[in-house]
């Protein structure tokens, strides 16, 4: 995404119909006898507008201004803290990107809660943490991957999978993109990979465990509908042949479920140049407001984290799989490869107690 312009203005432009409030010429504003650090306010506005533009799928400041029905210089002056935005403009911006919190940072009242040169009355710890974490969240939201981009990347990953390659999805409450009934692109890529003898394993909690999380989606039915849709164009023989290439494993004793709204995925292949033959990523749910979904940030995991996650995931899959008979089992050859890699990478045993 193109970076929003950081240009500032040396003179005070007149946009009285859109803005209110004034700032000093030396980077401070006097509010009730205290000097506000304008450089920090400018940085926070810049962070907020970047997040707004990204969330709205806009590639530039000019595009954001056009979407809001204002001139680019209008946003530039807000960004530069030359003026503050009117309540009407703030309302438009918040409607454009409702997930991005704290549109009031653009308003005149932000001057009265900025960073003071005279810290005679510092904020309490609750106010300080809320403000600091909100700003960090906005920074994350400005780089949050949009679902369409994420799906394109995952499709390319699936298209690269070959014989005996394995994909594992893990989450307590996050639905995989491909299980959305209206999604078609990922389903097509998964079926093509299965035809190339790849394997897809979904590690999710049991219904009883989900009820304790106040999550009432029937994951088993969701998976069966997904599988039926995926295999609907196959012959009876093909469906039987590929049945164990797409498996749901429901287990409750999975340490990763301690953060139920996160999701993880692991790609496992002999063609991955790492001792543990795996690359993993996490979809991290970020946010402090219990009433909003915040941001879901996709993070590639370090080799050390990947090893630990591989061990715990393989343990859970192995324990459930060892108690299954016939239908719904992960093939033994895949289990053995996963167990061998996890044990070699971590020097710990999969077959045993944690």
Let me know whether 177 and 192 are in one domain: yes
Let me know whether 265 and 117 are in one domain: no
Task: Supply the pLDDT for residue 12.
Answer: 33
Q: What's the pLDDT band for 186 if we cut at 50, 70, 90? A: very high
**Considering the domain boundaries, does residue 4 fall inside one?**
no
Let me know whether 212 and 300 are in one domain: yes
Task: Supply the pLDDT for residue 121.
Answer: 62
Total of domains in the chain: 2
Let me know whether 85 and 110 are in one domain: yes
Phi, psi of 97 (to 5 degrees): -140, 75
**Considering the domain boundaries, does residue 352 fall inside one?**
no
Let me know whether 197 and 338 are in one domain: yes
Better-scored residue on pLDDT, 239 or 94:
239
> Model confidence over 57-78: pLDDT tens digits?
787 888 898 999 998 888 888 8
The residue count of the chain comes to 354
Strand order in the sheet with 278-286: 246-250, 199-204, 166-171, 263-268, 278-286, 295-300
Last residue of a domain, one of 141, 162, 190: 141
Q: For residue 296, what is the domain's CATH number? A: 3.30.870
Task: Supply the pLDDT for residue 116.
Answer: 41
> Model confidence over 219-276: pLDDT tens digits?
999 999 999 999 999 999 999 999 999 999 999 989 999 999 999 999 999 999 988 9
Last residue of a domain, one of 109, 141, 173: 141
Let me know whether 81 and 182 are in one domain: no
**Considering the domain boundaries, does residue 57 fall inside one?**
yes
**Considering the domain boundaries, does residue 10 fall inside one?**
no
Work out the average pLDDT over 13-37.
Answer: 41
The β-bridge relationship of strands 295-300 and 278-286 is antiparallel
Let me know whether 161 and 89 are in one domain: no
**Considering the domain boundaries, does residue 354 fall inside one?**
no
Q: Which residues pair with 247 in a beta bridge?
A: 201
**Considering the domain boundaries, does residue 184 fall inside one?**
yes
Range of the domain at 96: 19-141
Q: What's the rounded Cα separation, in Å, for the pair 51 and 90?
A: 14
Query: CA 63: distance to chain centroid?
Result: 24
Task: Supply the pLDDT for residue 145.
Answer: 55
Let me know whether 223 and 264 are in one domain: yes
> Model confidence over 102-151: pLDDT tens digits?
788 888 777 655 444 444 566 788 777 877 777 777 677 665 656 667 78
User: What pTM was estimated for this model as a whole?
Assistant: 0.69
Q: What's the pLDDT band for 155 if we cut at 50, 70, 90? A: very high
Let me know whether 195 and 227 are in one domain: yes
Let me know whether 235 and 127 are in one domain: no
Q: Hey, what are 156's tokens?
A: 């390319």
Last residue of a domain, one of 88, 108, 141: 141
**Considering the domain boundaries, does residue 64 fall inside one?**
yes
Q: Which residues pair with 31 in a beta bridge?
A: 34
């Amino acid at each position: 995404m193109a970076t929003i312009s950081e240009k500032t203005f040396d003179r005070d432009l007149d946009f009285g119909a859109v803005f209110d409030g004034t700032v000093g010429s030396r980077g401070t504003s006097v509010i009730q006898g205290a000097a506000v650090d304008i450089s920090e306010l400018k940085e926070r506005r810049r962070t907020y507008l970047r997040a707004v533009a990204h969330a709205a799928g806009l590639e530039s400041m000019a595009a954001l201004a056009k979407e809001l029905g204002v001139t680019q210089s209008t946003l530039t002056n807000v960004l530069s803290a030359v003026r503050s935005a009117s309540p009407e403009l703030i309302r438009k911006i918040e409607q454009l990107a409702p997930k991005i919190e704290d549109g009031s940072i653009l308003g005149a009242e932000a001057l009265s809660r900025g960073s003071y040169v005279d810290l005679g009355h510092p904020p309490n710890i609750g106010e300080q943490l809320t403000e600091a974490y909100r700003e960090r969240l906005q920074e994350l939201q400005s780089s949050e991957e949009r679902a369409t981009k994420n799906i394109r990347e995952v499709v390319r990953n699936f298209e690269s999978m070959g014989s005996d390659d394995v994909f594992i999805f893990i989450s307590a409450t996050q639905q995989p993109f491909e299980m959305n009934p209206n999604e078609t692109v990922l389903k097509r890529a998964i079926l093509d990979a299965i035809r190339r003898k790849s394997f897809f394993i979904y590690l999710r909690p049991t219904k009883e465990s989900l009820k304790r999380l106040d999550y009432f989606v029937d994951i088993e039915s969701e998976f069966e509908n997904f599988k039926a849709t995926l295999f609907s164009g196959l012959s009876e023989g093909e469906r039987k042949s590929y049945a164990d290439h797409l498996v749901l494993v429901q287990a409750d004793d999975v340490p990763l479920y301690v953060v139920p709204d996160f999701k993880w995925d692991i790609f496992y292949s002999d063609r991955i140049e790492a001792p543990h033959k795996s690359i993993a990523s996490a979809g991290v749910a970020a946010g402090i407001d219990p009433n909003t979904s915040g941001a879901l940030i996709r993070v590639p995991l370090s080799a050390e984290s990947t090893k630990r996650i591989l061990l715990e995931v393989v343990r859970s899959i192995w324990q459930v799989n060892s108690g299954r008979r016939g239908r719904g089992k992960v093939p033994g050859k895949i289990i053995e490869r996963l167990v061998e890699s996890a044990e070699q990478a971590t020097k710990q045993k999969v077959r045993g107690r944690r």
